[in-house]
Structure 1
Amino acid sequence: MKKQLYLLILLASLFSACDPVPATFNFETKNFGPNAVMIIQSPENGETLKVENITNANQTFKINIPVKGYAILKTEDGDHKGEYYFYLDKGSFKGVLDGKNINSYPLKSVPNKEGEQFIDFYRLKDNMSKNLLDSLDIVESEFDQATQSNIMEKAKNADRWREKKILFQLDIIKAFAKKYPRSAHTLFLLEQLGRADSEPKNYLSIFNSLDKEIQESKKGKSLLEEIKQANQMMAGSKMPNIEGENPDGKKFDLSILKRVNLVICWTSYSGKSRKNNQVLVKLYEKYKNKDVEFIGVSFDKKRDWWVNVIKDDHLTWPQYSDLQGAKSPNAKNLSNYNVTYFFLVDKNGTVLTNNDLSLDFVDSEISKNLAGR
């Protein structure tokens, strides 16, 4: 009888150990519309962990989680959307979701120190960015009320302030990293901001302020590699060598470079690349006699596809490929695996533009660099 009792106790403890302890959320929700929802997602893979209708009342719900990690709390209320990072773990989360104040961080009480650091990050953000957000609200309002005669001016002004807001995030992350040099949250926040390719110097400055253990973590090494990659493609840097050969079997040589050169990273099987080719053919006709060269670098693997598209799309500028696809050194060194990708270099192979150019700006950037050199 005692053996059976012990066995039951053992089985009960095993089942209890396997049952994940939930994360419990208690929110006061207010000032949302009738169809508003809150969503909790994983930023790693986009998996939706919970969706709840917002009731403008006290709401409680649970998430059974086998492991802890980063998560995003989102609110959607028509065109009004909020997004907040937090650290998901077992235990109790308490907060306030206010539809009239979506800039305010909703979590007020969390079960761990990792979560408390996020509360502090958003507190820093509120204190540092109030004036900027007020200015952005003003220019957004002016843009909404723009007339046909001034809409372009108001749109450009709004874009400038939106860019300021994005760049200001780096100042906030920098302040957080200074306060918490041993926190891996800085790596996560930099990764989510996604500006390593355009702000590598700022990223490196923040990275170097972190504790050595954080720098040498798996995520730290990955971010550092991304920063180094971006740094070598900044204006003033020397373009990495283009590997491979042209369709006639000749290797790339710097001697083909002209005063201004557009490097085009593409693939024959990309629908976007094929559409871009239609625009590029016309641009090449405009500039080919003005000391400008286009250079195509394909990340293809099949020679027939590559050569046939060059012919079919009437691409008359120099083309190179090592036919290694995504494993090509070109893919890593020139565009950090992005397709399509554009940048300008001068006759010495010195990069003229910081990172990827939008096709919409290729024409104006070529003209600007021709005029300034």
Structure 2
Amino acid sequence: MKKIAVALIFASSFPLFTLGQTNSLKNFTISGEVNLDTGTVQLLPNELNTALYPTGFKPVSAKINKGKFKFNGQIDGPVWMYFKIGDKYQSAGTAISPGEQHISIDTALNYKGPINDNLVMKDAKSYDQSLIPADALRKQYRLHYDSLFSIYGRKFPEEIDLKSMKELKATYEANDAAILSFAKENPNSYYALYQLYALLNFGYNATLGNTFERFSTTLKDSRLGQATLERILSSKQIAVGEILPKFNVVDLRGVKIADNVYNSNKLTLIDLWYSHCMPCIAQFEDLKGIRNTYLDKGFEIIGISTDKTKYIEDWKLAIDKYKLTWPQYLDLNGIETSKYNIHIFPTSLLVNQQGKIVATGLTPVGLKEFLKENL
């Protein structure tokens, strides 16, 4: 990916800030207002998504003067940024694009998006409008789930739990379909591409892959487009139908996982977890029961922890405390799982005897149903 320069010229006494050279820089202006008379506004990149910014990209600042602030500079395309004012306020992300934009900040609305009138954020309104039916389905699911929770607490009856899980999956599918439809009609929507980029943190599916292909060549070739493609390519390696890559992990004795570790079982669940993940721990009892039921029928579980170096002892203690009798391996600091864009835990991958992924994202009740039908 080519490196892209950004130059920021600030109001007041701030000097020119440059990150390399490019032939496609365009001017931008941010005219801002805030409900503070004085102070300093910082313009921040998202440190968790460094691929979206040029190498060496740093936060920059402008002074507030009687409730006004201003940034002038040059960028080559939209950049997703955050505003921060000391410990008083931090905004949600917003796009800064070439040209003029007016930003209005209300420090009482912490972690909310500032008012931003540029074309990218105007496009966000069209995007949000197109997702109203999917959002309504999600809200309907949430209301139903809350009503069930008020009756059963955290432990739903199995039949109801399975039905709720399928309802949740339907909301995901409706959301993905809505994004695909919007991209078809708006192939130059930077905002929609950014939403796709964020959504891929939860995994890959064919609908999301098709969505990326609907964007214009210009957007796909942009820095954001290339970062999105990278997420697709890494996530797709652990999608249903793919052969599970070999994880370079070791067991409690430091022995590497075998190449043929799946060969002796008809189906193997790869349970990705870590010692301080409460949702991971919450499903251990169910997994133990499922394993006891289906072990003789050709089912096994392999646990892979992503614990950091400082938590290795916690990992070992968790295995003992929760009596995890299936094979356990350590992906120290999550290096292996990060190759496949795995950031949500627990993550489950169900593979067959040939190591082919046959299901992903199974909850214990979903796993039980799958095993009942396939073993």
Q: Distance in 2 between matches of 1:301 and 1:132?
A: 37
Q: Give CA-to-partner distance per residue, 1:292-337, whole Å, 9 cap, x none.
A: 101112334669725454344322112233x643333x5524x625
Unaligned runs of 5+ in 1: 1-12, 27-40, 50-59, 74-82, 96-105
C-alpha separation between the residues in 2 aligned to 1:314 and 1:291? 21
Matched residue of 1:44: which SS? coil
Shift of 1:224: 1.3
- Compare 230-239 and 311-320 and name the one that shifted more: 311-320
1:280 and 2:280 correspond: no
The residue aligned with 2:365 is 363
Counterpart of 2:184? 175
CA distance in 1 between counterparts of 2:252 and 2:141 reads: 51
Q: Which runs of 5+ in 2 are unaligned?
A: 1-9, 17-28, 35-42, 49-58, 84-91, 105-114
Query: Secondary structure at the residue paired with 1:353?
Result: strand
Task: Provide the rounded CA distance (Å) in 1 between the counterparts of 2:67 and 2:167.
Answer: 39
Aligned-pair CA distance for 1:228: 1.4
Which amino acid letter does the alignment assign opposite residue 284 of structure 1?
R
Distance (Å, rounded) in 2 between the aligned partners of 1:138 and 1:282 = 33
1:261 match: secondary structure: strand
Q: Is 1:208–2:216 an aligned residue pair?
A: no
Highest RCO, 1 vs 2 (Cα 8 Å, sep ≥ 6): 2
Structure 1 distance, partners of 2:346, 2:297, is 25
1:346 aligns with: 352
Give the corresponding residue for 1:327: 335
Alignment-derived partner of residue 372 in structure 1? 374
Distance 1:230 1:24, change over 3 A: same
Residue 242 (structure 1) aligns with: 247
AA aligned opposite 2:271? I
| CA deviation profile, 1:329-360 (whole Å, cap 9, x unmatched) | x5524x62544322211222111213x33xxx
Whole-angstrom CA distance in 2 between matches of 1:211 and 1:122 = 20
How far has the Cα of 1:200 moved from its partner?
3.6
Instruction: Check 1:288–1:92 CA distance in 2 against 1; reply closer, same or farther (3 A cut).
Output: closer
Matched-pair contact (CA < 8 Å) for 1:239–1:350:
yes
Identity %: 15
TM-score (structure 1 length as normaliser)? 0.59
User: Mapping of 1:13-52 within 5 angstroms?
Assistant: 15=12, 23-24=31-32, 44=46
Question: 1:276/1:337 Cα in 2 relative to 1: closer, same or farther (>3 Å)?
Answer: same
Please tell me whether residue 265 in structure 1 is matched to residue 272 in structure 2. yes
Contact 1:326 1:337 in 2 (8 A): no
Contact 1:65 1:89 in 2 (8 A): no
Taking only aligned residues, the RMSD between alpha carbons, in angstroms, comes to 5.2
2:298 equivalent in structure 1: 291
Question: For the residues of structure 2 that align with 1:200 and 1:297, how far apart are their CA atoms?
Answer: 23
Aligned CA distance change for structure 1 residues 258 and 142 (closer, same or farther; 3 Å):
closer
Contact 1:204–1:227 (Cα < 8 Å) also in 2: yes
Q: Which residue of structure 2 aligns with residue 310 of structure 1? A: 319
Structure 2 contact 201–342 (Cα < 8 Å) conserved: no
For residues 124 and 351 of structure 1, the distance between their equivalents in structure 2, rounded to whole angstroms, comes to 33
Aligned counterpart in structure 2 of residue 123 of structure 1, from 113, 122, 126: 126
Secondary structure at 2:359 match in 1: coil
In the TM superposition, what is the alpha-carbon distance from 1:227 to its structure 2 partner?
Answer: 0.7
Aligned equivalents of 2:100, 2:262: Cα separation in 1: 65
* Residue aligned with 2:364, SS: helix
Distance 1:185 1:319, change over 3 A: same
Shift of 1:232: 1.8
Q: Do the aligned partners of residues 230 and 25 (structure 1) sit closer, same or farther apart at CA in structure 2, a change above 3 Å counting?
A: same
* Cα distance change of structure 1 residues 25 and 176 upon mapping to structure 2, 3 Å threshold: farther
Letter in 2 for 1:246: D
In structure 2, what is the Cα distance between the partners aligned to 1:177 and 1:203? 15
CA 61–159 in structure 1, closer or farther in 2 if over 3 Å, else same:
farther
Question: Is the CA contact 2:243–2:357 (under 8 Å) kept in the aligned structure 1?
Answer: yes
Per the alignment, residue 34 of structure 1 pairs with none
